[in-house]
Amino acid sequence: MEFRKIGILIPLLGLALWGAPSAIAQQNQTPSSGSTLARGAQSFNPDISVIVDMCYHADDSEEGISHLAEEMSGFGHAHSGEEGHHHGPEAGLNLRHLELQVSANVDPYFKGSAIAAISLDGAEMETAEMETTALPYGLKLRGGKFFSDFGYINAQHSHQWDFTDQPLIHKLCLGDHGLNDKGLQLSWLAPTPFYLLVGAEAFQGENETMFAYSGEDPLPSHDGPRLGVAWLKASPDLPGYHAFQAGIFGAIGKHQEAHDGNGDGTEDHWLDGDNSFWGGDFVYKHNAPLAYGEGDVVAQGGYFSRRKDLELVGHDLAPQPVGNSKVDDQDGYYVQAVYGLLPRWRTGLRREQVGLINRSRLPDGMSEGHGSSSRWGAMLDFTPSEFSRLRLQVNQGSYETAEGQEDVAEVYLQWTVSIGAHGAHKF
Per-residue model confidence as pLDDT tens digits over 41-62: 444 578 899 999 999 999 998 8
For residue 37, the 8-state DSSP code is: H
DSSP state for residue 343 in the 8-state scheme: T
Q: What is residue 1's three-state secondary structure?
A: coil
* Amino acid type, 399: Y
**Closest alpha carbon to 168 in 346, 331, 327:** 331
| Residue 416 β-bridge partners | 53, 389
Phi, psi of 13 (to 5 degrees): -70, -35
Nearest to 275 by CA among 342, 321, 208, 324: 208
pTM > 0.95: no
- State how far the Cα of 55 lies from the Cα of 97, in Å rounded to an integer: 10
Beta bridge partners of 140: 187
Q: Is the pLDDT at 376 greater than 80, yes or no?
A: yes
pLDDT tens by residue, 132-147? 999 999 999 999 999 9
What CATH number belongs to 3-17+50-93+137-420?
2.40.160
Write down the pLDDT at residue 71: 86
Residue 35 has pLDDT above 80, yes or no: no
Q: What is the mean pLDDT of residues 165-177?
A: 93
Mapping DSSP to helix (H, G, I), strand (E, B) and coil, where does residue 48 land? strand
- What are the extents of the domains in the chain? 3-17+50-93+137-420
CB distance 354 to 169 below 8 Å: yes
- What are residue 276's phi and psi, to 5 degrees? -140, 155
Inform me whether the pLDDT recorded for 25 exceeds 80. no
Residues 6+ apart with CB under 8 A from 403: none
Give the H/E segment covering residue 6. Answer: helix 3-15
| DSSP state, residue 162 | S
For the segment 79-132, what is each residue's pLDDT rounded down to a tens digit?
Answer: 433 444 446 788 899 998 799 999 999 999 999 999 999 888 888 999 999 999
State the pLDDT at residue 37: 47
In three-state secondary structure terms, 302 is strand
Distance CA 280, CA 153 (A): 11
